[in-house]
Amino acid sequence: MTAQTATATATAVRALEIDRSHSDVAFQVRHLLSKVRGRFNEFAGTIQFDESDPQSSRVDVTIQAGSIDTAEPDRDKHLRSADFFDVETYPTLRFVSTSVTPRSGNDYDVKGDLTIHGVTRQVVLPATFVGAATDPWGNRKSVFEAELPLNRKDFGLTWNAALETGGFLVGDEVKVSLSIQAK
C-alpha cells in the first residue's frame, strides 16, 4: 500500500465519540393500556463510520443500566431491582456491531450483539445516517437515528403481574429509539 493510499483510507473512516449531551437513548413499553416512556441517562460509545465503504464501519455502545429514568422514582427503583435489570449483577447493556449493510440512501442495517441482563442476542438495528454538520465552535458532528422493537423476555426480563381482567401489567415488546450525535 502506498503512503497516498494509506492516507486516503485513514481519512475515509471517521472515529466518532457519542456526544451524550446531544443524544438520546429512549424506550417505550405498554403498561396496562397506556405506554410508559423512559430513557437511559448514562451511555458512551464510539462509531467508526466510513461513508465511502459503510461495510467497514463499526459501532460499540455501553449503557449504564442504573441510569434508567421513567420520571417515577419508585418505578425506576423496581426496574433496577432483580425483578428487571438487576443492576447490581448486570450493570451495563452493550451493543457491538458485527456488520453494516447499506439498504438504500443513508439507511443501513447494523447487525450486532446486544447484551442485556447477561443475555446476548444478535439483532439488526435499522439505522439512518441523518448527516454531518459543523457546529458554531468548529466541531464536526454526525447524526444517526434508529428504532428497534425488542422482546424483553428474549433477554431474561420476564417479571410481570396478571390482571384481574385478563392479560398482564407490562407488555413484552419494548420499542427502543436512538438519536445519536457523535463528534
- Of the pLDDT bands very low, low, confident and very high (cuts 50, 70, 90), residue 11 is very low
Mean pLDDT of 40-63: 95
Q: If DSSP codes are grouped into helix, strand and coil, which group holds residue 9?
A: helix
Mean pLDDT of 35-55: 94
pLDDT digits (tens, 9 = 90+) for 102-143: 999 999 999 999 999 999 999 999 999 999 999 999 999 999
Domains and CATH numbers, the chain: 11-182 (2.40.128.110)
Distance CA 13, CA 150 (A): 30
pLDDT > 90: what percent of the chain?
78
pLDDT of residue 8: 43
